[in-house]
A and B are shown apart, each in its own frame.
Chain A
Amino acid sequence: MRPQDILIPVAAGLCCKPGGFHIDPVRAVERAVITHGHSDHARPGHGAVLATQETLDLMRLRYGDHFAGSTQAIAYGEEIRLGDVTVKIHPAGHVLGSAQVAVSCEDIRIVASGDYKDAPDPTCAPFEVVPCDVFITEATFGLPVFRHGDAADEVKKLLASVELFPERAHLVGAYSLGKAQRVIALIRGAGYDAPIYLHGAMEKITGYYQARGIELGELRPVKGMKKADLAGTITLAPPSATSDVWTRRFPDPVTAFASGWMRVRARARQRGVELPLVISDHADWDGLTATIAATGAGEIWVTHGQEDALVHWCQTKGLAARPLDLVGYGEEDEADAATAGDAEA
């Protein structure tokens, strides 16, 4: 049996024929294994969904109770048999509940890592290296220019700016699921204990994180606040909202954006970001290459992102590597823009 007999890219996503399921399908399928709750990976309308409890809960929060025909929760480290393959779930360190899916058949193990990061994150279980024969990796930040420093230092920059501009509001753009909560936890970790304000589109998911026992301190909805009272405060909002009419309720806001993209200054300027915060929930270049090496895999399949550079790097290291050319991933940003922007106008 060859690896491509176990997992193969099709229009709907990554298909496991011997197991009878797809991983993170972009179209409705009969049976789906979902790595994490971001909207480009977790879509509604599948027949049966297998995912971590957190991912299932987050999908329910986003899509309502009937987001799938049936659901089954699987815990990290748990192994189950699906058709001719076994599936085991490992933490991916990306967001709460994010998982890598190890698919084994006969003596071949393929790990579909979904989105992952190897940097510490106080809001989710740490990434785990899973030895395998074929490693499927994302390449969101698959260029050697993307090397993200310590996220705690970025938050220090934010707090220094709050101190420097006490009469201005600080508006931090962050994806509603994962990034926002991580940024809040980092702010708390830096010793800031004033209330932090939330855009309406973030309240539900952040509330879920808190219900899961993640300490985020005092959070308040920004809705209904007087403009003058927001001076000197920090508000988290979906990225799209930070360049929207919504910002007019803030006194002379400083626009920050917490994203790995902020590593490149031109990207930050293009978006009109005044305070770029390089905080990423994806592995950076060093993280990608170190992880690929650590899995011991001889063959690397590269999904969404900057595939060219990562495939090239693998080949210079003597690894078989190819892009999977899957379509439809890496668009949580866009999804945010479409839904969250107008959610709380």
Chain B
Amino acid sequence: MNRFAELLDRLACEPGRNNKLRLLTSYFREVGDLDRGYALAALTGALSFKHAKPALIRELIADRTDPVLFALSYDYVGDLSETVALMWPRATSNAPSAPLPPRSDGVRGERSSLSRLGVGGASANSVPAERGDRPPNPSPPLASLAGGGERSARSDEHLGRNNPPPPTLTEVVTTLRMLGKTELPKQLARWLDELDETGRWALLKLVTGAMRIGISARLAKTAAADLGGKDAHDIELMWPGLTAPYPELFAWLEGRAAKPVNLDPAPFRPVMLAHAIENTDFAGLHAADFIAEWKWDGIRVQAVCGLDASGHSVARLYSRSGEDITKSFPDLLPSLRLQDSSDLEHDDSRKPLHTFRHHAPFAIDGELLVVRDGRVQSFNVLQQRLNRKTVSPKLTKDYPIHLRAYDLLGDGETDLRPLPFAERRQRLEAFVARLDDPRIDLSPTIAFDDWDALTAARKDPVSAGAGEDADAVEGVMLKRRDAAYLPGRPRGQWWKWKRDPHIIDAVLMYAQRGHGKRSSYYSDYTFGVWTSADGVEQLVPVGKAYFGFTDEELLQIDRFVRRNTTEKFGPVRHVVHEPDQGLVLEVAFEGLQRSSRHKSGVAMRFPRINRLRWDKPPREADRLETLERMLGVGGHPAAQAGGH
């Protein structure tokens, strides 16, 4: 547990991806099989414990601390796990709740808590009362470090108490899984007594399931893959077939065993991604080599269905990173599920129409969209379906989910991925037609003969075939007819050609230091536009951006911020922003949404700094009304969450 805690502690403060990977990989290398497997499970969100909840932790700490001190501390720290980890009382002998001794000369040394103070008679009074140039301690007791100063003597004493050694991660996980609701509090308290602060913090993070240390499941798997010089895609591929603590995975990574076979009946297949196309790219491309489709602004998913060993249907919906999101979209599930082979036998006669579909495993690559009355809704609407813990019938009724298919990766037992896209597309068209399900349809292609025709279609999706669905179109996709389905972002196979972003001129208002490599630069910018409040013209913040600029521009803005700071609030600098003084930033963004969280009432999607407008005085920057007008016409939002 201590080694795992140390890892989490370090990861929590490490901003750099590569350094995170190194910390993780060296942990996987050093730590034994079961512990590292459970660590990987914890970091990929594969562990959950039914009875361990934040309320339980609150009860435990309430029994042990003064409520006023807890409230003040929680208020200061702001995180329950950390507050409790820090406050958890040490074993009794130097608990501050012991009664105070009466004042007397005998006070010293009576209480064990004083052994930590430098008050062992001798050291207190042995300093000669001389006046002079020599310091009282001419040769400081460096040696006392090696020999154990008072403080380390105390920790020795702490260790020497009859505490058992701290539990291993494996012990913690297996015990948490096993224990019932009534035994859990006592066991947790015992561990909290045994562990040091970092250990307690890690335990509480594990128990409450909220790590929040900036490690994605993908990153943890990549670190594991690095252990054996393998590709994270391979782990992704076999992942659904593995269960914690993954001994066979580590055996393979360390070259001690063959690659684990994914026995999962409905496995995830690593997705193929597109490159953003630049104007200069077109010169080398022939229109005839490509098939074009609309780029839908939804959520990229993979819908997979198969039969398990006993012939039961298993249907899953995966996000583009391979996360199983089936539970969030129960309304789509009936359309995906195969008819159980057992059902087939019984129901054959009663449902003859259905026997020809739902008969063999498949894997569809497509986009999740909300479709109401036959019309695809914008991403803003789809957002209502995202990150929901529970999916109510009302939600599925008001925001009915729909799968728009654009590729077929597997049909029956056949892996279609090596086939050229044009061929897969034909099989997809036949498959969707055969499926005949109102919730699953085909992503239409765009007819075009040359790049000019496609440019026109991209500019005006409404009349180029997208019709009423154009609100959910965020550009155009180009796929080579002969492209096999390859994991990752292979060069030159798929291109995305997004709609042009919205552009506004905003004024830099606040700047904050970046992280990691950028920690010496002011690289996070809050910008605002003009509005009039009570007849006074003022800037209201409308967004924050921390990329889009070149390295050279970053240096220029950084210099501007340092020279034009009017106030500092912690890491934030208030930068001059007056009508005739300040820096105008040309901000590009993909869409707008109403937001009650922002003072301006709007929130931007994907804002970035497009250009620095040194030439423009702040008074000429845009106004909030301009943004509000964009809201009125729906704005065309584009996706980071979805798409290619």
Q: Report which A residues bind B (CB closer than 8 A).
A: 53-54, 73-79, 91, 93, 96-97, 118-120, 122-129, 131, 143-147, 149-152, 164-165, 185-186, 188-189, 212-215, 243-248, 252, 255, 263-266, 268-276, 285-287, 289-291, 293-298, 306, 308-309, 312-313, 316-319
Contact = CB atoms under 8 A, between A and B. Distances in A.
A155 B123 CA distance: 26
Contact of B142 (A122, A151, A266): A122
Given A165-B19, A255-B519, A274-B14, A296 B107 contact: yes
A275 B108 CA distance: 38
Contacts of B519: 243, 247, 255, 272
Given A53-B132, A129-B117, A312-B68, A290 B197 contact: no
Contact of A271 (B73, B140, B571): B571
Contacts of B149: 119-120, 122
Interface string B3-19: 00000011011110001
Contact of B124 (A119, A129, A255): A129
Contacts of B103: 131, 295-298
Given A91-B127, A185-B142, A269-B13, A213 B96 contact: no
B104 A75 contact: no
Interface string B592-631: 0000000000000000000000000000000000000000
B13 A128 contact: no
Interface stretch (B79-87, B540-548, B581-589): B79-87
A131 B105 contact: yes
B22 A164 contact: yes
Contacts of A295: 103
Contacts of B133: 53
B82 A124 contact: no
Given A290-B96, A312-B68, A126 B142 contact: no
A65 B142 CA distance: 32
Given A76-B136, A245-B520, A143 B124 contact: no
A189 to B, nearest CB: 4
B212 to A, nearest CB: 10
A290 B116 contact: yes
A296 B106 CA distance: 11
Given A54-B135, A129-B124, A290-B116, A76 B129 contact: yes
Interface in B181-203: 196-197, 201
Given A118-B117, A265-B82, A268-B13, A293 B520 contact: no
A53 B517 CA distance: 43
Given A77-B128, A124-B137, A131-B107, A143 B73 contact: yes
Given A77-B127, A145-B77, A151-B151, A264 B137 contact: no
A164 B145 contact: no
A164 B27 CA distance: 11
Given A185-B145, A264-B77, A286-B96, 5 more contacts: A149-B155, A215-B140, A264-B86, A294-B107, A312-B72
Interface of B: 9-10, 12-15, 19, 22-23, 26, 65-66, 68-69, 72-73, 76-79, 82-83, 86-87, 90, 94, 96, 99-105, 107-108, 111, 113-114, 116-119, 123-125, 127-133, 135-142, 144-146, 149-152, 155, 196-197, 201, 513, 515-517, 519-520, 570-571
A50 to B, nearest CB: 11
A273 B12 CA distance: 10
A277 B340 CA distance: 59
Please name the 8 residue pairs, one residue from A and one from B, whose CB atoms are nearest each other, closest first.
Answer: A296-B103, A126-B118, A120-B149, A189-B145, A77-B129, A145-B86, A289-B96, A272-B519
B96 A76 contact: no
A329 to B, nearest CB: 19
A247 B515 CA distance: 13
Contact of A272 (B78, B107, B135, B513): B513
Contact of A266 (B79, B101, B151, B516): B79
9 contacts: A97-B135, A120-B145, A120-B151, A144-B96, A145-B87, A213-B140, A243-B519, A247-B520, A290-B114
Contact of A145 (B76, B90, B119, B123): B76
Contacts of A245: 520
Contact of A144 (B69, B104, B105, B571): B69
A186 B197 CA distance: 21
A91 B145 CA distance: 19
A122 B137 CA distance: 10
A53 B99 CA distance: 39
B13 A276 contact: yes
A248 B140 contact: no
Given A271-B571, A294-B108, A296-B107, A143 B69 contact: yes
A152 B72 CA distance: 29
Contacts of B136: 75-76, 91, 125
Nearest to A316: B66
Nearest to B14: A274
Contacts of A123: 140
B73 A252 contact: no
Contacts of B571: 243, 270-272
B13 A73 contact: no
A286 B98 CA distance: 12
Contact of A313 (B26, B96, B142): B96
A77 B94 CA distance: 29
A129 to B, nearest CB: 5
A218 to B, nearest CB: 15
Contacts of A306: 72, 76
Contacts of B116: 118-119, 287, 290
Given A120-B144, A150-B151, A185-B142, A263 B86 contact: yes
A120 B82 contact: no
Contacts of A77: 125, 127-129
Contact of A290 (B72, B113, B144, B196): B113
Contacts of A266: 77-79, 82
A134 B155 CA distance: 30
Contacts of B140: 122-124, 185, 213-215
Contact of A75 (B96, B114, B132, B151): B132
B13 A147 contact: no
Nearest to B79: A266
A186 B139 CA distance: 15
Contact of B118 (A118, A145, A215, A269): A118
Nearest to A188: B142
A187 to B, nearest CB: 11
A105 B14 CA distance: 55
A74 B131 contact: yes
Nearest to A79: B129
Contacts of B96: 144, 285-286, 289-290, 313
Contact of B141 (A122, A244, A291): A122
Nearest to A263: B86
Contacts of B117: 118, 127, 129, 290-291, 294
Contact of A147 (B14, B86, B114, B130): B86
A252 B15 CA distance: 12
Nearest to A293: B100
